[in-house]
Amino acid sequence: MKFLKYFIPILFLFCGINIAQAVNLTVESEKQTYDDTKKLITLDKEVNVNIDDINIKSPKAFLTITPNGKPDTATFVEGARAIQVTPNSKSETKASILKLSLISKEVEATGNVESKMEKLGKPTITIKSDYQSFKTDSNVMEVKDNVIMMYGDIRATSNSAKIWLSKQGGLEYLKLIGNAKITQDKIMVMGDTVDLDAKTEVMTAKGSAYTNVIIDDSTTVKIWANNQQYNNKNNTAIANGGVKIHYNTYVASGPKAVMIADPKTQKPNKIFFSGRSKIKDGDKSIEADKITITMSPKNFEADGNVKTQISNLSSLNR
């Protein structure tokens, strides 16, 4: 039974897709009850709502009405599914509860929330969490509790996140908060917070930061520091504060380190430690003002007030 149809002058964006400034709202269900005192419409069984090219379905929903008779907030319960299809993209959100405010232009989803976006039939962004909200006026998503995000070959997890989307629905900036982790191809970055600038492909980790980079020969570079920044475009890393690096048999530490790639191969090949630093290789330990590690061929160089210490000398006489 088609119960009501409104023409609403709103700006509604679903997962970053700009719809239109004026859309039609059509509400359908098997049973509808209107409480004039509460200004509330209760929709039961096979609830089907269309807002221009957005379709929302659920077993039950509530629609509040303003004193002047305009739709205010639609709340879909007992499992809701919202889909938007355009010529080049498809967006979908599933949740236990989906709340749409037509006045504040905000969408809230709670309980086993999963949002997906496809472009030209290929998945671009998938976000799973217990809570998600989207503000259409700023194209910003707030995501909380058990966050898992897939973006191309990037997988991100955290306690909560803030996501900035472009008007076309693409990712512009991602901020992961609490137990943050991003993995991409052969790179893993972790920290109390991890930021990703999608345009520059720079990842910034703060607080107990850790980066793991796999080299082609299957060896790894492991970096611990208070703060780190990794540039995926040129395979460079900057680490500050309590830096510790493991590479092959080397264990190096110092206040600051920079890892750069070979200009020809574009693969990580040198690590520069500045400030009083130390490197250990087996029983040999060296301190210096500067230490440079080369990965291919494997060697290191120490400069400035160099001090070498060799332990377990008794083993040399065996």
**Stated pTM of the model:** 0.83
| Average pLDDT per 10 consecutive residues for the chain, totaling 318 residues | 30 30 70 88 89 86 85 90 81 91 81 86 85 83 94 93 81 94 93 94 95 87 96 92 96 97 89 97 94 94 95 61
pLDDT score of 212: 95
Please report, for the chain, the start and end positions of each structural domain, with discontinuous segments joined by +: 187-318
pLDDT score of 240: 96
pLDDT score of 119: 76
pLDDT score of 313: 62
The fold for domain 187-318 equals: lipopolysaccharide transport protein A fold (2.60.450)
Is the distance from CB of 196 to CB of 182 less than 8 angstroms? yes
pLDDT score of 18: 34
| Pairing, β 122-135 against β 106-119 | antiparallel
pLDDT score of 159: 97
